[in-house]
Chains A and B, each alone.
Chain A
């Protein structure tokens, strides 16, 4: 009797260890693609990331060499435009949810923002195509920037709301008790206190849309040449990577890997900056 009981106990212990082992293997499998993708990006891309890549325009079909400077600058221009529209709307909307509004209305708005965050990015491309490209009869940087901005809005709105809610009520009460008006309290005390978190949310949203391709396919459209006129089609790094990846030319494949390496490096850098920013936050009150 006694020995059977302890056998059972040993078996249960083994089972527990087995389960932990399987869970550990699952975790390894989940992060394996990250390692593999990064490894292959370095192997295939590092050789083509050179001075030319950052300074020259794409070479004509058949010619070897060339770079993606127009796509890199185009992506930055699109992000600037997207940020100019998306950041104020997202941040102020988030402030409304955190500071004003009845619980009921806010629950609905929050819900809708979450639903918007789940909408496939290609849909935004179709919508902006109908809204801008069809109306103004042409692909343009404006359309691309708008598509990215619309994706950013619900993302920034939700992160802003979350961090503004973390500001202790005592801060608001102290400011209001000194006779500071409500909006100045919000702008100068509450948003300032939460600024690190708000910036974190903005950076994450920029990193996210910076890698988006689908919404740009038929809005910004891409361009093999220099273009700073936002009313014309404009190049973007993810678009260029896509075009090169599905092309039949070996040299373009190398360029696609190089572009991908540059894009991933950019996205990861933003994520690391965010991590540094939030590490400080964990220590302080907010």
Chain B
């Protein structure tokens, strides 16, 4: 009897415990997290809308000429963004020319060629380079790099390549080339670390097959790893380009900030990001501010396109490795 009662009591307790818990908390939490995740969508729309709204008058007034004319005269209310677009593209191109070979060679060294004990410390150092704030690199650029470039590297380049139109004219120091070099330093870590991830994801079978055929370490790296990972490495480079286009502080501090289109990389230049940084708080008239918003819109469009392209290139490689915890 007593036993039956205790069983009944236990049963009731179990029932109470097993009673479906209120779903309200579950629903509320799911909706809350969903709302936070949707902030991402909202932010993209917010950026596009703000930039569009902020520049609508300028877009109507200047039309397509904004992108194709090179007169930037706030006093006369003449605004053409071409020198900034040119400066952004050229400085980023210089940066890529310097950073891409170095980064990919470093990534290959880190995954294929280096002794094992050296790999982790090197990776940590590269992560620390990535952590240096842009403004500090700019400070170093102004007071250390530019004097060195002006006194040593630029005269050397002028002597060697002075016969081409790219290395002519007087040497000031702040220049397109200085901007390109500082951007290169800033994008080295990201291209290196993404390339390293890509090379690490190359299946070992590739390497084993190459070694089985008698390849040396370098041959295996070149034939079995680098060429296998070509598409991913291209994605890493494009991702680096996306960062290069938007680099602001360090570039602003060393590029010279002169809106001109000059072939010589010794001449100062100006980028989309640096004109915003320099002139935004000085924009006294509405149309001036509008023009700067439109510069922002151009920069946003450019980086979005480049980033989308990079993500598409990288996505196809990484999706296979990411699996969801809860299906």
Contact = CB atoms under 8 A, between A and B. Distances in A.
A88 B247 CA distance: 28
A101 interface: yes
Contacts of B299: 120, 122-123
Interface in A178-214: 179, 181-184, 186-187, 207-208, 210-214
A167 B323 CA distance: 12
Contact of A245 (B135, B247, B311): B135
Contact of A23 (B50, B105, B281): B105
Given A109-B40, A120-B246, A218-B281, A271 B127 contact: yes
B209 interface: no
Contacts of B188: 30, 33
Given A114-B307, A182-B26, A264 B136 contact: yes
B129 interface: yes
Contact of A169 (B54, B132, B325): B325
B60 interface: no
Contacts of B326: 98-99, 169, 172
A252 to B, nearest CB: 11
B280 A130 contact: no
Contacts of B21: 179, 181
B308 interface: yes
B46 A127 contact: yes
Interface stretch (B137-145, B157-165, B260-268): B137-145
A232 interface: no
A115 B217 CA distance: 37
Interface residues of B, number: 99
A210 B136 CA distance: 12
A253 B51 contact: no
Contact of A179 (B17, B40, B144): B17
Contacts of A246: 142, 253
Interface string A141-153: 0000000001001
Contacts of A111: 311, 315
Nearest to B144: A40
Given A94-B37, A271-B131, 8 more contacts: A98-B326, A123-B299, A153-B43, A169-B325, A172-B325, A186-B29, A213-B249, A264-B132
Interface of B: 17-18, 21-23, 25-26, 28-30, 32-34, 36-41, 43-44, 46-47, 50-51, 53-54, 101-103, 105-106, 108-110, 113-114, 122, 124-129, 131-140, 142-144, 185, 188-189, 192, 216-219, 221-222, 239, 242-243, 245-249, 253, 273, 276-277, 280-281, 292-293, 296, 299-300, 303-304, 306-308, 310-311, 315, 322-326
Interface of A: 12-13, 15-16, 18-20, 22-24, 26-27, 29-31, 33-34, 36-37, 40-41, 44, 88-90, 92-101, 103, 106, 109, 111-116, 118-127, 129-131, 150, 153-154, 157, 164-167, 169, 172, 179, 181-184, 186-187, 207-208, 210-214, 217-218, 221, 238, 241-242, 245-246, 253, 256-257, 260, 263-264, 267-268, 271, 275
